[in-house]
Amino acid sequence: MVFSSLTFIFYFLPIVLILYYIVPNKFKNIILFLSSLAFYFFAEPKFGILMIVSILSTYIHGILMDKHKEHKKIITISSVIISLSFLVFFKYTDFIIENVNMLFNGEFDLLNLALPIGISFYTFKMISYIVDVYKNKVKPQKSFLKLATYVSLFPQLMAGPIVRYSTIEKELDDREYTFSKFSNGVRRFIIGLSKKVLIADVLGDLISSFNMASEKTVLFYWIYAVAITLQIYFDFSGYSDMAIGLGKMFGFNFPENFNYPYISRSVTDFWRRWHITLGTWFRDYVYIPLGGNRVGKIKWLRNILIVWMLTGLWHGAAWNFILWGLLYGVLLVIEKLGLLKILEKIPAFLSRIYVMFVVIIGFVIFSGEGVEQILENIGGLFGIGVDKLTNAESMYYLVNYASIFVISILASTPILKNIVKKLKEKIPRIINIFEPLALSLLLIICVSYLVDGSFSPFLYFRF
């Protein structure tokens, strides 16, 4: 079950909201925990137990840390190792076996393990909790129910944002419920659903057409590259919007995860705006503990490359993700060594072209299946191995998807948001009437697409 499904929108969510708001406050966490388990078991019944065991391990380690403060470090290491062991076993075992076989001509059989949905996200949540307890940033949670509710909370269980325990610690005990907050949550959910269904899924159809095309031209390769760049953004930011909106409906305030990354003037700025909760997680729990930039230049470069190799590896057990991460690591180093000052001085449109070129190439690498396909797709962008610049088929897709490209490019900038903001200031009454109608229309259109369309999971479910 995903947020962009009729089952979730018309059955699961309304039932949970009704139960949640009719029970007394002391039972609301129970409703959230049970509904989160139901949500997860619906998608991954055999891995629901794994998540509960992981939560129980983290809970016990937190309690032990409180009782045996003299052994806090050992207890923390134990908890982190157990949490990472589950993640590594299910996500990276086959990747390790494949590379061992390749390097040593081995013949070890792959385990072909299914990847538990959301394990990358809830593992990082548990690690941040236990490390923050160790650093005395938060107190150990004595209630298993509250910790389990935090980890398994269905709005951000599958694909983030990575909400830290410290962010919602107080809200686990006392949340604010207002009509304004609930309505803002509904608004945010509909916007995220529209991003997913009306933009990301439509671009997904174009990408499928590219992959099935018998003849590809330079133009078609660029259409594909731009489409995959926009699809990943709207798919993931759409999910984040829906998660933040759902959080508000249940009284929580989740952190923002995207801040218009495609208007960035540097790669450094891009990563301050893209998947913000992941970037800050790696900064606080990997980069700074390694010494950050408070060490010699060689170690500093090492720290950056380690963080970005791990960032790539976190996204998936394949070399294309590692290469994608290292690409950004190298570019960030280059920027910090002097390029950043140049980018600040040149015209904004030139620095933005540089960033988007890097991002597009990066997502071509990110989306490739194997080195051979990555090289073919990147080569195709520059006419390598391609006979034609364009053809009738390429022009057909360019013309037919021109409107969605224009809409998605505009929507990836603050232009539309700023227009609405100015209109609210000038004609607030009209906008206050028009906005609910516009959102209702968007919801109806999304539902129509879902009724007629096929199932399309979120891209980040596999990470």
For residue 375, the one-letter residue type is L
**Number of other residues whose CB lies within 10 A of the CB of residue 33:** 22
Q: CB neighbours of 196 closer than 8 A, spacing ≥ 6?
A: 3, 4, 234, 235, 238, 239, 242, 458
In a domain, 1, yes or no: no
In a domain, 225, yes or no: yes
What's the pTM? 0.93
Q: CB neighbours of 92 closer than 8 A, spacing ≥ 6?
A: 313, 317
What is the tens place of the pLDDT at every residue in 337-382?
A: 999 999 999 999 999 999 999 999 999 999 988 888 999 999 999 9
Distances (CA, A) of 291 to 226, 296, 302, 303: 37, 9, 10, 7
| Same domain assignment for residues 214 and 160 | no
**Number of other residues whose CB lies within 10 A of the CB of residue 162:** 24
Domain boundary among 175, 197, 228: 175
In a domain, 213, yes or no: yes
The low-confidence residues of the chain, meaning pLDDT below 70, are 453-463
Distance CA 110, CA 98 (A): 7
DSSP state of 155: G
Domain boundary among 142, 175, 208: 175
Q: What is the pLDDT of residue 227?
A: 97
| Same domain assignment for residues 171 and 206 | no
Would you state the structure tokens that stand for residue 360, as one six-digit string? 């597009």
Domain boundary among 175, 206, 234: 175
| Same domain assignment for residues 68 and 83 | yes
Tell me the backbone φ, ψ of residue 250, rounded to 5 degrees: -100, 10
| Same domain assignment for residues 98 and 217 | no
Distance CA 215, CA 325 (A): 31
Distance CA 93, CA 110 (A): 8
Distance CA 239, CA 154 (A): 12
| Same domain assignment for residues 262 and 362 | yes
In a domain, 239, yes or no: yes
In a domain, 148, yes or no: yes
Q: What is the pLDDT of residue 232?
A: 96
| Same domain assignment for residues 324 and 450 | yes
Structural domain total, the chain: 2
In a domain, 290, yes or no: yes
Distance CA 373, CA 216 (A): 13
| Same domain assignment for residues 274 and 153 | no
Would you state the structure tokens that stand for residue 225, as one six-digit string? 């590259």
| Same domain assignment for residues 302 and 169 | no
Active site residue ranges: 315
Residue among 339, 329, 330, 326 at smallest CA distance from 365: 326
Judge contact between 145 and 29, C-beta under 8 A. Answer: yes
| Same domain assignment for residues 166 and 211 | no
Would you state the structure tokens that stand for residue 311, as one six-digit string? 């960032």
How many residues does the structure list for the chain?
463
| Same domain assignment for residues 332 and 347 | yes
| Same domain assignment for residues 76 and 52 | yes
Distance CA 169, CA 171 (A): 6
| Same domain assignment for residues 242 and 103 | no
Q: What is the pLDDT of residue 380?
A: 95
Domain that holds residue 321: 182-462
